[in-house]
Every structure is written in structure tokens, then in C-alpha cells.
Structure 1
């Protein structure tokens, strides 16, 4: 057994000591989290930590390569059960789709669309799912971009596509609020590393319109690409 597992268990012991009093009392028998977050399963993105969440029952967290909200089923494409469960069974009313700068899944999908790449079957499946929604975005990219610039614009496009899929689904309750954001740890949007920037609210992508409709978000609304 590698020493790293012992270290991981040590971190858990520290966590348990911090939570040993009454931190779980209100959620012993169920949950009703106000948010479900759908985040890329990238080790650099600390899904709960980025919202400073240390409250059990506050956020239902979903991780998927490319912050993907959909999956392929026997009946066709559908909202992933991981995302849908809290909306249908736990009274959750808000979905936050979290992309991030320099996303490896978006990068791989971009490279596959433009040049073709070889990947194991499981990764290939994920890339093929993302390609269904990203191919048009690759075709619409402005000319003359560096690859990193293209990727970060596609990160936004991917978030938009995930939001759109949720809005298009009859399985998602009509009164669900859906927010798309990008987590920036590469100083792409500002020099304040680690901020989340709002790029889409219920399908609205225009920053001016978002700010007008949601003035409380105004200082956090930014986009690299309005297409």
C-alpha cells in the first residue's frame, strides 16, 4: 500500500475531528441542497473549496470530464442521472455548470476535431460525447488564435452547450435556474487567480443583458467570446 493512501486517511481523520460535533445533525436523514454543481473532474479544480463550502447538505457535487451534463442512454442522449437526481428528488432549484481555463477535456476534443487523436475506449467515449456539442464551436472560432486562446473560448462554448442541453430537456423542472461559469486559475480573465466568472444565466450569454437582468452579479460577469 503506497504511503500516499496513509496520508489521505490522515487528512480524513483531520476532517472527522473538525466535524465531530453537530455538523451533520441536520442532514442525518436526508438532504435538500439548494445547488447542484457540475464541474470538470480535474484535480486542479477544488469543486467545494472554490465556493468555500464546508456545510454538509449545501451543494450536491457532480464531477465529469468536460463538466458534461448529459450521457448516452438506450433511449438516446439524456441529462445525466448524477445531475438530475437532486433536481427531481432533493428539491434543488439551481444548477451551476463550471468550466475552467485550460480544460484538458476541451483541449482533447479540439485536437480530435482538428487533427484526430488516439485514446483508450473510455476516454474516446467521453470525447465523442463532447464532440457532438463542440464541433460547431470549433468551426466558428475566430481566425488567428493561439491554441490556448482557442481552448479558452471553447471552454465558454462548452459551458453554453451544457446549459442549453439542460434547458432543452423535458426532465429538468421548468423553474430550475441554470448558471454557467468559468473558474480561472491561469489569469485569463483577471489577475485575481481562482475567481469564478459568470458567462451564462438561463441561456443568456450577452454580458450586458446579464448585468441588466441580474445587477447583483455585475462585477462577476465576463466573457472572452461573444458569438
Structure 2
């Protein structure tokens, strides 16, 4: 057997021993408090970033670029992965989680600026879902911005666009709170790697306004780019 799989099974045995009794209340149904939409980057520790060890508490979705939409024959709609807990389990909080140095945002930036390399069709499709939402952001970037800073500014811009898509969708009730954050493991926002920084709450992106409205988390509200 592949040694990686052997190692995974050994870790799962430890997990099963620790968690065996934690599924009693959620074996037959789930009512997660929040649905998170993360990038599937292996460095983004979806549950562990919240120190979540409670089955049934966080409904996690992941894809490259933390996208909330999918394309149908008729239109672009909120992805069923994201919408399911909102529509069926009473979940009333959605958190879009971008991350510093995002490869999908980088690929979309390169596609928009004409520097894209060829990709397999599936990756091209995923990046193609991002690029229309980021084009205006690329055009608005400061002229003297470095490539690294441009990517991290667009990470925030992408989070904003995904939050907007949820807020504008008729399939998402107005009662659902939508928050956008960035997970930092590259010392972009602070020296504490792994910290989450709030950049958008229900469409509000102005830092001072957010800090006034949400004073209890003022220290966690920060942006690289207020465009």
C-alpha cells in the first residue's frame, strides 16, 4: 500500500479513538452554525484554523479560489455546496475565506494580464469562473504595485466579489450574515502566521466603519487595499 495512505489510516485511527463519543448528537442530522468557503490550498487548515473539534458545527466547502458560484447552462448561480446548509440545515452565517498568496488568484491575474500558461481543461474552467469577477480589480490596481502585493490585494478583492455574489443571490435569505476574511500564513498582515483577518462584513469593506460597527473585533479587522 502507498505509504501516504498507510500514514493517513494510522492518523485516522487516532482520530476515531478521540472522536468516537462526539458524534452522539449529530448522527442523524446536522445544524451547523456556519458554512465556510475556503480555498482548497493544502496550507489552509479549514477546521483547525478555528480550533474546531466539534462535529456538526462548521459546514466546510473548498475549491481553488474560494469561489461561491458555479456555472449552469442558464446562468451563474450560488454553488449547491455553499447553498445546501443555508437551504436545508438552518445555517445563517457564511464566511468566505481567502488566503495570502493564493495560486488561483495568481492564475486569474496572469490570465487577465496575458501571462497565463496553458492548463488542463478542468483548471482552466475553475480559473475562468474567477477571471470575470477580478477584471475590474486588476484594472484598478495601483500602477506601481509589485506583483506580490497585487496578488494579495486581489485576494481581498476576490473575497469581496464572492461576498457580493452571496448577498445579491435571491437564493440566500437576507437573514444570512456574510463575512469575508483572509487567512495569512505569509506575514502579510502581521507576524502571527495562521491568523484570520476580517476584510468584509455584509458588503461593508471600509476599515474604520467596520471597526466602529464591530468594536469587539476591531483588532482583527484589517485590509491591504481599500479601493
* 1:174 shift after superposition: 1.1
What's the Cα RMSD here?
0.7
**CA displacement at 1:74 relative to structure 2:** 2.0
Structure 2 match to 1:103:
102
Give, in whole Å, the separation in 1 of the partners of 2:106 and 2:216: 33
- 1:63 paired with 2:83, answer no
Q: Deviations over 1:88-125 (max 9, x none)?
A: 00000000000000000000110111123211100000
Q: Deviations over 1:61-89 (max 9, x none)?
A: 00011000000012210000000000000
Q: Secondary structure at the match of 1:26?
A: coil
Q: Which residue of 2 aligns with 1:221?
A: 221
Q: Provide the TM-score with structure 1 as the length reference.
A: 0.98
**Which residue of structure 1 lines up, in the alignment, with residue 167 of structure 2?**
167
Q: Following superposition of structure 1 onto structure 2, how do residues 30-179 of structure 1 map, counting pairs within 5 Å?
A: 30-114=29-113, 115-179=115-179
Q: Cα deviation per residue 1:130-184 (whole Å; 9 max; x = unaligned)?
A: 0010011001000111111000000000000000000110000110000000000
Question: For the residues of structure 2 that align with 1:177 and 1:106, how far apart are their CA atoms?
Answer: 25
Alpha-carbon separation, structure 2, partners of 1:189 and 1:213: 21
Contiguous gaps of at least 5 residues in structure 1: none
Runs of 4+ in 1 over 4 A off after TM superposition: none
Structure 2: stretches of 5+ with no match in the other structure:
none
Match of 2:201 in 1: 201
Aligned match of 1:7: 7
User: For the Cα contact (< 8 Å) 2:107–2:116, is it kept in 1?
Assistant: no
3-state SS in 2 of match to 1:223: coil
Normalising by the residue count of structure 2, what TM-score does the alignment of the two structures yield?
A: 0.98
2:34–2:57 Cα contact (<8 Å) kept: yes
